[in-house]
Chain A
Amino acid sequence: MEILIYGTINSVALALYALGFALVYGISRLPNFAHGALYVLSGFITWSALNTLGLNYPLSILLTMVVMAVIGALIYYFFLIRVRGMEISEIIASYAIALAILEGLRWGGFKGMTYTLPAFIEGSTVIAGISVDYQRLVVVGFGAALVSFLWLFTHFTRIGLALRGMAQDERAALMLGIDSDIMAIVAMALGSMLAACAAILLLPLGNIVVESGYNVLILAIAVCIVGGIGSWVGAVLAAFLIGFAQILTVVYLGSHYQMMVALLAIILTLILKPSGLFGQQKELEERV
């Protein structure tokens, strides 16, 4: 029972990490290696808004969302748009951005155990004999809400449909008057906002540490690779697969092995079925 509950929570957390990365990669084919850095950055922005500017919690969350969206759009507009389509340059450039953000934060004094965000609701409850704090329930609730919101957004709004159109066939989308550059900027802004959402939901569970930026990136990549690019179902299922696998290894083998699960999942999936469990598109392009 404990495994079931904590497995679910862990899986939702993984799905939250991965949403932004999956969105950006699915739409503009940009492997955004700065995703983890954006996650950490939004944690620090929220913290500064709360403690330095002295705003109240909802207001600073809102501020963080807006700031992150702008930052994401600016990063894309000034740097990544110039290397668009050159995959390796995209990886190197976004990774350089990630390093600059993370190490800059580390240099700026954000290190150690002192930075925490308050939980939305303090306290804990007991479900089936297991005590679970409210924040984790909030994470699960908001996570489910976010995934369904994104599904609705990409299926029923004009911008969402344009984004999906670009993901499926960029030339056809261009012919229908969808500006792919603007859509890519929108995608990047959305992706950064999703990173911020994940950060705000998940960071109250622990400390804000710079190192988590790298782990978040790896987990996000793991979920996207295992699930298959361009498949929402796949991403969510992969999050549950890796989430439960992680909890099981923690319970039966020890916490040292937790990160290995994600790395092994990436390596094995890429070797055995590079398009992922549920990815339908582009199978030919990935493999010789």
Chain B
Amino acid sequence: MSTAAQQRRKERIDRGIKVRTDGLYALMSWRELSYLIAPRSILIVGLLILPLVMPGLYWPRVITIVCIYALLAMSFDFLAHYVGLVSLGGAFFVGVGSYLSAILNTSLGFPPLIAIPVATLAGGGICTLALLPCLPLRGVYFAIVTLMYPLFMARVIEALDIFGGTDGIMGIDSFPSAWVEQYGMIVVVLIFLFGLRRLVNTDLGLVLRAVKDNDQAVKASGMNITRYKALAVFIASAIGCLAGACLAHIYMWTGISTFALDFSVLPIAATVIGGSGTLVGPVLGCLILVPVSELLRDFGTLRIVFYSLILLAFVVFRSEGLMAYGQRKYHQFERWTQI
């Protein structure tokens, strides 16, 4: 490079209002307050009016599917980017949750609104116990082992012919009404979204992030990292099981296909596209990906080709994702400076 050539670089500086709203000064004026509240309320209000504006019988169903994938994607994002455990086995959580809720409902006669919370907590416990031996594993090894869990479970159910075998469990009660179904799912997504955002900023979240960045340092501080990892896995798998349990009651059916790779891959794609490590990003990604994949349903398996190509493009060329991009534009301004 010759020195004569003018070289420029892009400089990013926080907007004044962003700095002012960081602390207590956010209460200074309505402008500052609305700067903070606007993005959040757009999301909340937007999600809440979705069932009202969606026509027909088909699209409301898509909303609930979006919510289920959003829960899964949040659980993946939380585990991968705040604890450092990349789990490719979201389908394992879904399968366990849906089978538990189905069994509670059909065999023990629990109504859906009781079966789902019970399945959530019990499923979280079961998944945590199952994953406990793998917790010391790192990076790609944890990813591979979690990828194998749902495949293994599907084969076990198929081979032993338990829980209805390949036919699955039928005759599960549905939600009392479509409104309960849609608003229940949306409210659950919002609760977990803001709950997780708050959780990662508490002391516990700090420890979890430390486990991700440097587990030896956490160990040296006298903390039991396996305990913290188990706790995080419990939270994430409970969210996954909740999604699975709701799925069982929405379709009024559960089967081996709940262990299918779709439930592992689509949430990851949504997280990558929406912006990993933001927790809102995955929800956004699901809001984009799931309807697109429904629109492409006519093309059969070509839609999987489409979304895997989109995923590939985002992973390779735009790994920050939409949400991180949006946040940057919202909080910072850019200008070119001479070097």
Bound: A111/B224 CA distance, A: 51
Q: Which residue of B lies closest to A275 (CB)?
A: B141
**At the interface, yes or no: A103 with Cβ under 8 Å from chain B?**
yes
Q: Given A92-B272, A103-B301 in contact, is the A271-B133 Cβ separation under 8 Å?
A: yes
B230 nearest CB across to chain A (Å): 13
Contact A106 B311 (CB under 8 A): no
Bound: A278/B198 CA distance, A: 45
Question: Hey, what's the 0/1 contact readout for A267-286 against B, CB within 8 Å counting as 1?
Answer: 10011001000000000011
Q: Which of A83, A92, A107, A274 has the most CB of B within 10 A?
A: A92
**At the interface, yes or no: A225 with Cβ under 8 Å from chain B?**
yes
**At the interface, yes or no: A260 with Cβ under 8 Å from chain B?**
yes
Question: Hey, what's the 0/1 contact readout for A246-264 against B, CB within 8 Å counting as 1?
Answer: 0000000010110110011
Size of B's binding interface in residues, CB under 8 A: 44
Range for the number of chain A residues in contact with chain B: 35 or more
Contact B312 A287 (CB under 8 A): no
A11-19, A93-101, A145-153: which lies at the B interface? A93-101
Q: Which of B154-178 contact A (CB under 8 A)?
A: 155-156, 158-159
Q: Which residue of B lies closest to A99 (CB)?
A: B308
| Residue from B148, B272, B302, B309 within 8 A of A266 (CB atoms) | B148
Bound: A87/B88 CA distance, A: 13
Q: Given A88-B143, A254-B159, A263-B155 in contact, is the A271-B301 Cβ separation under 8 Å?
A: no
Bound: A260/B153 CA distance, A: 9
Interface majority SS on A: helix, strand, loop or mixed?
Answer: helix
**At the interface, yes or no: A226 with Cβ under 8 Å from chain B?**
no
Contact A88 B308 (CB under 8 A): no
Residues of the B chain whose Cβ atoms lie less than 8 Å from the Cβ of A99: 265, 304-305, 308
| Residue from A221, A256, A257 within 8 A of B144 (CB atoms) | A221
Residues of the A chain whose Cβ atoms lie less than 8 Å from the Cβ of B140: 31, 87-88, 91
Contact A274 B155 (CB under 8 A): no
Q: Given A91-B143, A96-B315, A103-B301 in contact, is the A287-B308 Cβ separation under 8 Å?
A: no
Residues of the B chain whose Cβ atoms lie less than 8 Å from the Cβ of A267: 134, 145, 148-149, 152
Q: Given A91-B88, A286-B137 in contact, is the A100-B309 Cβ separation under 8 Å?
A: yes
